[in-house]
Amino acid sequence: MKFRKTILKNGLRLVMAPMKDTNTVTVIVTAGVGSKYETKATNGISHFLEHMFFKGTKKRPKTKDISSALDAVGGEYNAFTGKEQTAYFAKVDAKHFDLALDVVSDIYLNSKLDPKEIEKERGVIIQEINMYEDTPIVQIGDIFEDLLYGDQPAGWETIGTKENIAKIKRKDFLKHLREHYTAPNTVVSVAGNIDEKKAISKIGKIFSKMPKKKNGRKTKVFEKQNQPQIRIKNKKTDQCHLVLGARAYDMFHPDRFPLSVLVNILGGSMSSRLFLSVRERLGLAYYISASYESYTDSGYLAVKTGVDTDREKIEKAVKTILGEVRKIREKRVSERELKKAKDNLRGKMALSLESSDEVAGFLAGQELMKRKIETPEQILARVDKVSADDIIRVAKDIFRDDKLNLAMIGPVGDGKFLENILRL
């Protein structure tokens, strides 16, 4: 992967990745801010503001003026808010690069935050909250993070609460912008078929007036646990959705590479241990997977699945997952299985970085969060060095009773029937 990083005089970071074998180009502008940077009273403001950026600028006064400009050329565009970053992007035919840059930079720098639009958008976000409430397969992730981190920013939902959405005012948005939407806290990433020098010049002019100011700070994550924890949300559903996981490493920890391989072996594919045991052998679930989520100051491993609401089947699924966890903690993986996991990770990365939007997002995320970019080659070189001894060492560190957590949604009562088996 070829790329060039440029830092403007005001501190804004620009990452360019020419891709001459594609006909597209993607522009993504990211800010180092998300729900981890919020207070109890402002929880949800980062996501709310993301919505407001599409409600009109001085140049494009109405929502349809923004969407029509990119729709007219068949562009793909969107935005997202996470715990630690908020991003806005557009992917277009390479010949429409100027348009994509103009639209994305316009909403990022010049949004009006019209009070009337703010009032209307409250209702939209409340309906989005309701949608997640009706989607347990999505909501279970938020419940798991709440179980891990509790009443601190890391444990709050990114979308916020209905109470907060009803109270946030225009002055709150302006304060949030001043504190976090600054040049040193912004990364512009462009990937695709572009004239690199011209693109750098254009971006430099557009973003040159952004304030040179450090962004606001986030609250450091506090973690404390001494025994397994269970969190149940009782809800009438046809399926019980659960996440069984453990506290793990942040994105800078040297053992993130062995952990990534371990996660792949456990539940990273349709031939992984968990998929074969829980779905293929026992027929307990349609979906099951393992993942590793890492932030700048926290991280966790999570096994996610959906099973029948019958207590015996829930118990059997949990026991089976724990059984696979014990195996990988106590018995060395074979060289064949280790190689297969590494090859799987290599293949997934190759596939994920074929398009301009994936490359732009990869580079933006690396630069924004780590302030340096690890190339795919560098990452895979670290993965290749992972040994069977590393896997068992990390498994023993991660899979302990004082790091074990289980979150569930379904009509399952208080979950006490699981307390005796949630042990390693």
pLDDT > 90 fraction of the chain, expressed in percent and rounded: 96
219 lies in a domain? no
pLDDT at 415: 86
Strands 13-18, 4-7: pairing kind: antiparallel
Q: Residue 213's pLDDT band (boundaries 50, 70, 90)? A: confident
Q: For residue 419, what pLDDT band results from cuts at 50, 70 and 90?
A: very high
**Same domain membership, residue 301 and residue 194:** no
Instruction: Please list the residues that pair with 290 across neighbouring strands.
Output: 303
Residues 184 and 315 grouped into a single domain: no
> Is residue 424 situated within a structural domain?
no
Query: pLDDT tens digits for 192-208?
Result: 999 999 999 999 999 99
Placement of tokens 């040159």 in the chain: 208
Q: pLDDT at position 149, please?
A: 98
pLDDT of residue 343: 98
Whether 221 maps to a domain, the answer reads no
Q: What is the pLDDT of residue 273?
A: 98
Nearest to 361 by CA among 21, 4, 57, 91: 91
Indicate if 268 and 131 belong to the same structural domain. Answer: no
Shared domain check, 259 and 184: no
Look at residue 217 and tell me whether its pLDDT is greater than 90: no
On whether both 196 and 255 belong to a single domain, the answer is no
Q: Residue holding tokens 């729900």?
A: 35
Q: Tell me: pLDDT of 311 over 80.
A: yes
The CATH number given to whatever domain includes residue 87 is 3.30.830.10
Mean pLDDT of 345-362: 96
Q: What is the mean pLDDT of the chain?
A: 96
pLDDT range class, residue 146, cuts 50, 70, 90: very high
Domain-terminating residue out of 207, 238, 264: 207
State the Cα–Cα distance between residues 314 and 317, nearest whole angstrom.
Answer: 5
Say whether both 196 and 235 belong to one domain. Answer: no
- Find the mean pLDDT for residues 332-345: 98
50 lies in the same domain as 84: yes
223: in domain: no
Determine the structural domain holding residue 55 and report its residue range.
4-207
Residue 255 shares a structural domain with residue 165: no
Burial bucket for residue 159 (CB in 10 Å: 0-12, 13-18, 19+) = buried
Could you tell me the pTM of the whole model? 0.95
Instruction: For 239-296, write each residue's pLDDT tens digit.
Output: 999 999 999 999 999 999 999 999 999 999 999 999 999 999 999 999 999 999 999 9
How many domains is the chain partitioned into structurally? 2
- Going by C-beta distance under 8 Å and a sequence separation of 6 or more, which residues neighbour residue 326? 399, 424
233 and 201 both lie in a single domain: no
Give a yes or no: residue 234 inside a domain.
yes
Residues 198 and 267 in one domain: no
Q: Give me the active site residues, please.
A: 50
SS (H, E, C) the chain: CCCEEEECCCCCEEEEEECCCCCEEEEEEEECCCHHHCCCCCCCHHHHHHHHCCCCECCCCCHHHHHHHHHCCCCEEEEEECCCCEEEEEEEEHHHHHHHHHHHHHHHHHECCCHHHHHHHHHHHHHHHHHHHCCHHHHHHHHHHHHHHCCCHHHCCCCCCHHHHHHCCHHHHHHHHHHHCCHHHEEEEEEECCCHHHHHHHHHHHHCCCCCCCCCCCCCCCCCCCCCEEEEEECCCCCEEEEEEEECCCCCCCCHHHHHHHHHHHHCCCCCHHHHHHHHHCCCEEEEEEEEEECCCCEEEEEEEEECCCHHHHHHHHHHHHHHHHHHHHCCCCHHHHHHHHHHHHHHHHHHCCCHHHHHHHHHHHHHHHCCCCCHHHHHHHHHCCCHHHHHHHHHHHCCHHHEEEEEEECCCCCHHHCCCCCC
Domain end marker among 207, 242, 277: 207
In a domain, 378, yes or no: yes
| pLDDT above 90 (res 216) | no
Contact 127/98 with Cβ under 8 angstroms? no
Average pLDDT on 292-305 reads 97
- Can you give the pLDDT at residue 214? 75
Whether 66 is covered by a domain: the verdict is yes
Would you say the C-alpha torsion 316, 317, 320, 325 has a positive or negative sign?
Answer: negative
Last-in-domain residue among 154, 177, 207? 207
pLDDT at 137 over 80: yes
Which structure tokens are listed for 243? 């996440």
Mean pLDDT of 24-46: 97
- So what's the pLDDT on residue 215? 73
Please tell me the predicted confidence (pLDDT) of residue 414: 86
Q: What is the mean pLDDT of residues 101-126?
A: 97
216 in a structural domain: no
User: Do residues 203 and 233 both lie within one domain?
Assistant: no
- Contact predicate 71/62, CB 8 Å: no
Examine the pLDDT at 179 and tell me if it is beyond 80.
yes
Query: Mean pLDDT over residues 22-45, rounded?
Result: 97
CA-based nearest residue to 416, from 146, 324, 408 = 408
Mean pLDDT of 129-149: 97
Least confident of 47-61, 68-82, 206-220, 294-308: 206-220
Q: Report, as an integer, the average pLDDT of 54-59.
A: 96
Give how far the C-alpha of residue 279 lies from the chain's centroid of Cα atoms, to the nearest Å: 26
**Same domain? 55 vs 170:** yes
pLDDT tens-digit readout, 314-338: 999 999 999 999 999 999 999 999 9
